[in-house]
Amino acid sequence: MRRWPNMTFARVPRRGERVHVNDHEGTFIVVRVDKVASVGKLELWESPKHVLWDIPFGAIHLLREPESEAA
């Protein structure tokens, strides 16, 4: 396998994860993931009617839960 030292790959989000998105305010939930196209469908946590389609994996960032909330 060939390696590229300066190249990083975007993390693949998982369904149900809480994330934030570049250039968008609020917390989103991952609803659908298309690994072939490297995009995801996201719904706004506070308003499920607000949907973002075809968001590239590079713009999706996982929100880490504080340890006090972790089960």
For residue 68 the two structure tokens come to 């006090």
Number of Cβ within 10 Å of residue 14's Cβ equals: 11
Residue 10 confidence (pLDDT) above 80:
no
- pLDDT, one tens digit per residue, over 18-48 is 999 999 999 999 999 999 999 999 999 998 7
Strand order across the 39-44 sheet: 51-56, 39-44, 28-34, 18-21, 60-62
For residue 27, which phi and psi values (nearest 5 degrees)? Answer: -100, 135
In this structure, what DSSP letter does residue 49 have? Answer: T
Q: What does pTM read for this prediction?
A: 0.76
For residue 43 the two structure tokens come to 């719904």
Among 1-5, 13-17, 26-30, 41-45, name the one with the lowest average pLDDT.
Answer: 1-5
Residue whose structure tokens are 């996201």: 42
